[in-house]
Amino acid sequence: MNSVPASIFKDCDIRGLFGSDLTPEIAYRIGRAVGAKLPGKRLLVGGDLRPHTPPLQAQIIEALKASGCLVLDLGQVPTPVFHSALSQLTADGGVMVTASHNPPQFNGFKLMLGPLPPIREDFEEIERMVAEGAQVSGQGRVEKVPPIPQYQEQLIRRFTPAGPLKVALDCGNGSYSEIAPPVFRQLGYEVVELFCQPDGTFPNRDPNPAIPAHLSALCAAVSKSNAQLGVAFDGDGDRVAFTDENGQVLPAEHVLVLLARRLLMKVPLATIVFDIKGSRMVEEEALRLGCVFVEEKSGHSYIRRRMILNQADLGGEVSGHFFYKALRGGDDGLYTSLLLAQILDQTGQPLSQLTRGLDRYQITPDFRLPYDISQAPHLLRRLRDHFTHERLSTLDGVKVYFQDGWGILRPSVTEPAITIRFESTTDTPVPQIARRFLQPLPELLPLLSQKYPDWFPPPDRA
């Protein structure tokens, strides 16, 4: 029996290159492990639009059926539709075949193994079960269930019809391509479509909308069409990014604050969960609204899990996930985009006006450096040993709080890389805070200069 690469088991999902890290045979073994953990249960299986999703999905279904499970085959659906169906169909768990925002050569599995989203320990257990060949046998069966019409109807009922607001939708050829435009139109919006033809090879842009450079076509379309809002979904629909009416990409922190101001103003002691890499501005705005602010590890499963455990009202992640008590702690890019469009429609104010003043601190994007994750603990230890007199957080990697800002270094949960981010909360230039933070890790500065020269110019350009 061929070995299964340990590298595919991440903190929040299973993910790797199709054909090498992930094959139909490996999918079957993972399905048998899930079936052994949830024998005879009622399980959902859905998949994204990638060309290699169907053979992986078929093997997952066959493995769960062989484990005695009742398998509800959702077909090709966005991940938020999969999560919505979990409660609608009273399922015990399931497998969503998707690599989410990763490039088209990747694929993977998002799992639900019970009422709480799985985290690192759960995936380590599945990894052990796969290695041991764990399985149970039974006579399961498969039912095909088309959940999308019901999902669309429920979503439209949640929102009131809008006025004459123009919205540019960049579906990125992903899972919301044939769903988001008609939903917006049925609610009265004028829609400008961009890349709304389903194509899991993602021929027009990278499926990750959290990187502003990937949204150049959307920014241009917003400006050309005089749209009031630009929306971009990731490959499976749970992440979303926005531009204002000027084609300027909004940081996720700004979106979360707008949602909090609208949804939580009259909710006493509402709870907001946000990931540890986010701007300090979010915490300040949460406290101003009288909310409880909870910092959590980066990763959609960690934040969703915290949402459920704390019965939190609203949550967010820098990468573009937004979570809601109304969705049982879940996230949905289309739901978020409809909320933001509704805010614009009801306030009658442009998005640039609503976000004015929220950029009071200078914060960097995520700096991602390819790195041997097995060596990341050595980097973290050197940071901890060096900053013995500073306030530290080791919730996720190492975050060092300075009087004038902060820096964080953490292993990525989705790829073999380290993620670094900095914020200045005073007039101190961000590169100065970065160099202070990286004093014990001087070998990383040349790597940052090489990959991000606009932020860290080489000495001959400084």
390-436 pLDDT, tens digit per residue, is: 999 999 999 999 999 999 999 887 678 999 999 999 999 999 999 99
96: pLDDT confidence band, cut at 50, 70 and 90? Answer: very high
pTM of the model: 0.95
Give CA separation, 356 vs 97, 281, 359, in Å: 40, 13, 7
Known catalytic residue at 374: no
What is the mean pLDDT of the segment spanning 92-107?
97
pLDDT: which is higher, 6 or 458: 6
Residue range 6-148 forms a domain whose CATH class is alpha beta
Known catalytic residue at 214: no
Q: According to the model, what pLDDT value does residue 460 have? A: 55
CATH homologous superfamily, domain 362-451: Alpha-D-phosphohexomutase, C-terminal domain (3.30.310.50)
Known catalytic residue at 15: yes
pLDDT at 387 over 60: yes
CA 398/CA 408 separation, integer angstroms: 6
Both tokens of residue 221? Answer: 């379309």
Number of helices (H), then strands (E), belonging to the chain: the values are 15, 20
Architecture per CATH, 159-354: 3-Layer(aba) Sandwich (3.40)
Both tokens of residue 168? Answer: 């540019």
196: pLDDT confidence band, cut at 50, 70 and 90? Answer: very high
Q: Which amino acid is at 197?
A: Q
Cβ contacts of residue 242 below 8 Å, gap of 6+? 229, 230, 231, 232, 249, 250, 255, 337, 340, 351
What is the mean pLDDT of the segment spanning 226-236?
98
What is the mean pLDDT of the segment spanning 268-284?
96
Nearest CA-CA partner of 181 in 200, 194, 165: 194
Q: What does the angle CA 181 – CA 187 – CA 193 come to, to the nearest 5 degrees?
A: 20
**Mean pLDDT across the chain:** 95
For residue 253, the 8-state DSSP code is H
pLDDT at 27 over 60: yes
Q: According to the model, what pLDDT value does residue 416 have? A: 83
Q: Which amino acid is at 369?
A: L
Choosing from 100, 175, 337, 424, which is the catalytic residue? 100
* C-alpha Rg value of the chain to the nearest Å: 22
Residues in the chain: 462
Nearest CA-CA partner of 81 in 294, 389, 335, 265: 335
Choosing from 32, 101, 304, 321, which is the catalytic residue? 321
461: pLDDT confidence band, cut at 50, 70 and 90? Answer: low
Q: Which amino acid is at 443?
A: E
β-strand pairing of 166-170 with 190-194: parallel
Q: What does the angle CA 26 – CA 32 – CA 35 come to, to the nearest 5 degrees?
A: 145
For 347-370, the pLDDT digits (tens) are 999 999 999 999 999 999 889 999
61: pLDDT confidence band, cut at 50, 70 and 90? Answer: very high
Assess contact for 386 and 440: CB atoms under 8 A: yes
- At how many degrees (to 10) do helices 120-132 and 24-37 cross? 110
pLDDT at 58 over 60: yes
For the chain, give every domain's residue range. Answer: 6-148, 159-354, 362-451
* Domains 6-148 and 362-451 equal at CATH topology level: no
pLDDT at 458 over 80: no
For 30-48, the pLDDT digits (tens) are 999 999 999 999 999 999 9
Assess contact for 144 and 40: CB atoms under 8 A: no
pLDDT at 163 over 90: no
User: What percent of the chain lies above the pLDDT cut of 90?
Assistant: 93
